[in-house]
Amino acid sequence: MKRSTLCLLCILLTVALVIPGTVLAQSGFNQKDKLISAGLGLGMYGVYGSSSVPPIFAMYEMGVAEKISVGGLVAYSGSSDEFGFGKWSYTYIVVSARGSYHFLEGQKNFDAYAGAGLGYDIVSSSVSWKDPTYQNLYGGRYSAGAGYFFFDVHVGGRYYFSPHFAAMAELGYGVGFFRIGVTYKL
C-alpha cells in the first residue's frame, strides 16, 4: 500500500509539472497566506527495526513577511523489532516549530522555499514476550519512554493545481528525509 500511494502522488506531481498551462492558481506565495499541509515522510531517522507506520504529518504555515512564513508541524510514526523471545514496539510523536524563506516572486503556480526549525520527538517503547516464562518472570509487558530535541532543515516546493490546492514535496532532516503531501491555501 505504501508503494501504491507513493507512486500515485509521484504521477500526480509529474503530470502537474508537465502540463503547467492547465493551472489557474493566483500566486505561489503571498504574505497573507495561511497554508495547511498533510502527507507522508520517507526515510525517518532513529527508527528501530522495521517501520510499521510511515511518518504521517500535518503542518500549518502562515506568511508573516513578504517572503517569510512561520508555522508548526506534528507527526506520528511507528516501528517494531522482533527478537528471539518477543517483540519491541516503538512510537514517535514529533512536535516542531519551523520557519521558511520563499524564493520565487511572481510565480503563479510554483512556490520554492527553504527553512529551519526546532522540534521535540517523544519516543515510547514496549515489549511483548512470546514465551510465558519471560512474561511471568518480568511481570508481563515492559515499557519505557524518552524524548529529545532536534533541528529541522528543509528545502521544498509546492505546485498549485488551483487557487487553493497544491502538491508539495520537501527534502530535509526532521520528519523523514523526503516528505510528500498536499497543501490547502485558506
Please give the chain's pLDDT, 186 residues, in tens.
455 444 444 444 444 444 443 333 345 677 888 999 999 988 765 566 677 788 899 999 999 988 999 999 999 998 888 877 778 888 999 999 999 999 887 778 899 999 999 999 998 988 877 776 666 666 666 778 889 998 989 999 999 999 999 999 999 887 788 999 999 998
Query: How many domains does the chain divide into?
Result: 1
Amino acid 102: pLDDT? 93
Answer whether residue 93 is part of any domain.
yes
Instruction: Tell me how far apart the alpha carbons of residues 5 and 152 are, in angstroms, rounded to a whole number.
Output: 25
Task: Take residue 142 and report the three cell numbers written for it.
Answer: 515492559
Residue-number span of the structural domain to which 123 is assigned: 2-26+44-169
Answer whether residue 82 is part of any domain.
yes
Answer whether residue 184 is part of any domain.
no
Instruction: Tell me how far apart the alpha carbons of residues 77 and 92 are, in angstroms, rounded to a whole number.
Output: 5
Answer whether residue 123 is part of any domain.
yes
Amino acid 3: pLDDT? 52
Q: What is the CATH number of the domain that holds 83?
A: 2.40.160
Report which residue type is found at 129: W
Answer whether residue 183 is part of any domain.
no
Answer whether residue 182 is part of any domain.
no
Answer whether residue 83 is part of any domain.
yes
Answer whether residue 79 is part of any domain.
yes
